[in-house]
């Protein structure tokens, strides 16, 4: 192992590490006697940045991904008996969790604004500017800017308006202004366009990064494809509010290489070492592993003797039912809806990925997959209103599907990705269908390619699934075609929560249970003092901080508001839409 230490700025010391082998990463530590912009090893610094951006440590993964993006995506749920997380947590603002997310990604204004990743990027870029003859200087610059852009995109897609133009310059801007998301997107497109068309526009390998490049082993062409795919992602985000600009960007994007298969997926393979690139989901399941008692089950050759710990989340009702091809009716989405209008465009089509995403209850393939309804506080049982987490059936985690063991088990063979070929194909399917761009093949062909790629990545037996979806797509109305694309893009983003949450907010699809108005239950209810109230009326779902609605964004935490007078008022509200979803 080789370790490189550096000072991020005069106010912030960070540690950057680089391993010639990804088998043995150590925890980051602080060392003020490290490299400077005049004396450093870009490969080692960028290796640290890759880990920070693409394989978040447990602390930030729990808070930024699981407690926010993943729950807000509508793909997970909580609130079973003994669970750490209550149904009311789902859409309720939590200062501790939110500030942890903001600061782990970004670092607040009065503490060396920018965080380790951005500080590291600044050092690399300053070094390369001072050493233009350094081997592969141009390519190193392109990779550094791509990682930096990826992190900025993650921030702005979660929070909306963010510091960008004055970011990472704590000496001149200790309390930076918040740029409009529209301007952030424009700035990132300029950066990434230069990366794709100039800095990484060659088919070479960087020998100095053969071991330290955790994504692509030093392949410049694959980094170029990834940077271009980020442009595609951003163009599709903004296409809802500015189709003309999106179309112009897409016309330039398709002139340069995009990911061509799953080998081009952006992700870091995890290891089994507990001090290394370990499975971030492991902590949720392994903590208090005897919590659900001694049980035995087997799924896809994973033989287990214990269930999820109290920190684990369960699959949400909606993703399970959409993947099962179930009938889903207006009345399940809105209390004023009916039970005859089907809102599932994929009804009758069973998705084979369901058995790779999830394990059926009890690990028994004879049991139908079952998801938990997010935010559900109470259930009606025989005329009585009962708290869900105390209900013998609905509150028992053993009666639900669980995340597939390959994902959460530390010995599992699943690897996380941040952008995959399936997303590229499904984005192109939408772009072609909406006449935003013409590229290689039809929208139905891109749809089929995306589903094939996703099934391949997950090891799911495709069978007739892809062709069945395409047949349905080709026979659908224009609006239903888009609905199919949106639902499939959301499903395919499972375990890529930032993408799933963004897709849901931009398209409004799929339609999830009770996001507009709560359902009121009426029945007898046992009060805390033991008395029984007949005909009690209680809200079935938790109202949260957004009046039942899906959070439109994460709000800027008070920890930042208290030290930065430039935080916009609108950014203090989870109901504020980001620009590409119709906000200002």
The string of pLDDT tens digits covering residues 561-576 is 998 999 999 999 999 9
Residue 529 within any structural domain of the chain? no
pLDDT in tens, 383-416: 999 999 899 999 999 899 999 988 887 777 888 8
pLDDT of residue 110: 46
Please check whether residue 300 lies inside any domain of the structure. no
Chain-centroid distance of CA 388 in Å reads 28
Six-digit token pair at 193?
Answer: 């366009």
Q: How many Å apart are CA 238 and CA 579, to the nearest integer? A: 8
**Alpha carbon distance 242, 252 (integer Å):** 16
pLDDT for res 32: 30
* Cβ neighbours for 462, distance < 8 A, ≥ 6 positions apart: 352, 451, 452, 455, 456
Rounded CA-CA distance 498/105 in Å is 13
Could you give the CA distance from residue 289 to residue 287 in angstroms, rounded to a whole number?
Answer: 5
pLDDT digits (tens, 9 = 90+) for 347-367: 999 999 999 999 999 899 999
Cis check for the bond before 510: say yes or no (omega within 30 of 0). Answer: yes
Q: What is the CATH number of the domain that holds 31?
A: 1.25.40.390
Q: What is the pLDDT of residue 29?
A: 32
Instruction: Tell me the C-alpha distance between 141 and 119, whole Å.
Output: 14
Is residue 250 in some structural domain? yes
Q: CA–CA distance from 518 to each of 87, 334, 394 (Å)?
A: 14, 8, 19
For residue 28, the Cα-to-chain-centroid distance in whole angstroms is 24
| Alpha carbon 129 to its chain's center | 33
Rounded to whole angstroms, the Cα distance separating 533 from 525 reads 5
pLDDT digits (tens, 9 = 90+) for 185-226: 999 999 999 999 999 999 999 998 988 999 999 999 999 999
Q: What is the spatial distance between Cα 390 and Cα 33, in angstroms, rounded to a whole number?
A: 55
Burial of 6 from C-beta contacts in 10 A (0-12 / 13-18 / 19+): buried
**Looking at residue 26, what is its pLDDT?**
37
* Residue 209, in any domain of the structure: yes
Residue 244 lies in a domain: yes
d(CA 262, CA 259): 8
Q: Which residues pair with 526 in a beta bridge?
A: 532
Please give the residue range of the domain that contains residue 211. 2-264
DSSP 354-371: HHHHEE-GGG-TTSPP--
- The values of phi and psi at residue 265, to 5°, are -60, 145
Per residue in 146-189, pLDDT (tens digit) is 999 999 999 999 999 999 999 888 788 888 999 999 999 999 99
Contact 142, 85 (CB under 8 A): no
Residues 6+ apart with CB under 8 A from 330: 337, 338, 339, 340, 341, 343
- Number of domains into which the chain is organized: 1
Q: Are 460 and 353 in contact (CB under 8 A)?
A: yes
Structural domain contains residue 24: yes
Regions of the chain short of the pLDDT cut 70: 1-39, 106-115, 271-278, 283-284, 287-294, 307, 514-518
Q: Is residue 260 part of a domain?
A: yes
User: Rg of the chain over CA atoms, in angstroms?
Assistant: 24
134 within some domain: yes
- Dmax over Cα atoms in the chain, in whole Å? 81
- For residue 372 the two structure tokens come to 């938990």
């Amino acid at each position: 192992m080789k370790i490189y230490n550096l000072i991020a700025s005069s106010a912030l010391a960070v540690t950057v590490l680089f391993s010639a082998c990804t088998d043995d990463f150590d925890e980051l530590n602080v060392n003020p006697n490290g490299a400077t912009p005049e004396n450093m090893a870009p490969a080692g610094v960028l290796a640290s940045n890759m880990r920070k951006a693409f394989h978040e440590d447990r602390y930030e993964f729990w808070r930024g991904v699981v407690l926010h993006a993943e729950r807000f995506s509508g793909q997970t749920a909580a609130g079973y008996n003994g669970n750490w997380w209550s149904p009311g947590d789902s859409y309720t603002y939590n200062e501790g969790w939110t500030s942890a997310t903001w600061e782990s990604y970004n670092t607040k204004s009065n503490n060396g604004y920018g965080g380790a990743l951005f500080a590291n990027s600044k050092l690399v870029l300053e070094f390369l500017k001072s050493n233009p003859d350094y081997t592969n200087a141009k390519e190193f610059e392109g990779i550094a800017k791509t990682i930096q852009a990826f992190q900025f995109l993650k921030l702005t897609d979660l929070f909306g308006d963010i510091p960008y133009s004055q970011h990472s310059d704590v000496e001149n801007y200790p309390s930076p202004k918040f740029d409009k998301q529209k301007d952030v997107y424009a700035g990132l497109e300029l950066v990434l366009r230069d990366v794709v068309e100039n800095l990484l526009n060659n088919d070479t390998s960087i020998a100095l990064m053969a071991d330290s490049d955790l994504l692509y082993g030093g392949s410049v062409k694959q980094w170029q494809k990834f940077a271009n795919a980020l442009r595609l992602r951003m163009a599709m985000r903004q296409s809802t509010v500015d189709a003309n600009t999106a179309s112009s960007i897409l016309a330039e994007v398709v002139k340069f290489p995009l990911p061509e298969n799953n080998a081009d997926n952006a992700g870091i393979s995890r290891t089994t070492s507990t001090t290394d690139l370990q499975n971030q989901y492991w902590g949720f399941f392994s903590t208090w592993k005897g919590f659900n008692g001694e049980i035995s089950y087997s799924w896809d050759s994973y033989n287990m003797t214990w269930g999820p710990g109290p920190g684990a989340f369960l699959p949400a009702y909606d993703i399970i039912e959409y993947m099962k091809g179930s009938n889903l009716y207006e009345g399940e989405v809105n209390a004023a809806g009916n039970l005859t209008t089907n809102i599932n465009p994929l009804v009758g089509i069973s998705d084979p990925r369901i058995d790779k995403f999830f394990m059926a209850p009890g690990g028994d393939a004879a049991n139908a997959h079952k998801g938990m309804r997010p935010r559900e506080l109470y259930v009606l049982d025989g005329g009585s209103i009962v708290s869900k987490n105390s209900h013998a059936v609905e509150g028992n985690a053993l009666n639900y599907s669980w995340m597939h063991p390959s994902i959460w088990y530390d010995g599992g063979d699943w690897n996380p990705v941040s952008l995959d070929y399936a997303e590229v194909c499904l984005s192109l399917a939408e772009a072609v269908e909406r006449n935003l761009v013409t590229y290689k093949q039809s929208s139905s062909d891109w749809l089929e390619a995306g589903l094939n790629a996703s099934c391949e990545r997950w090891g799911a037996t495709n069978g007739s699934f892809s062709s069945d979806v395409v047949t349905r797509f080709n026979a659908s109305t224009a609006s239903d075609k888009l609905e199919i694309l949106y639902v499939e893009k959301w499903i395919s983003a499972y375990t890529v929560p930032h993408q799933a949450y963004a897709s849901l907010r931009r398209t409004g699809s799929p339609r999830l249970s009770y996001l507009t108005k709560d359902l009121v239950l009426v029945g007898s209810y046992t009060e805390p003092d033991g008395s029984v109230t007949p005909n009690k009326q209680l809200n079935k779902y938790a109202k949260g901080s957004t009046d039942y609605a899906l959070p439109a964004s994460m709000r800027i935490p008070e920890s930042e508001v208290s030290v930065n007078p430039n935080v916009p008022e609108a950014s203090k509200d989870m109901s504020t839409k980001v620009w590409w979803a119709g906000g200002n």
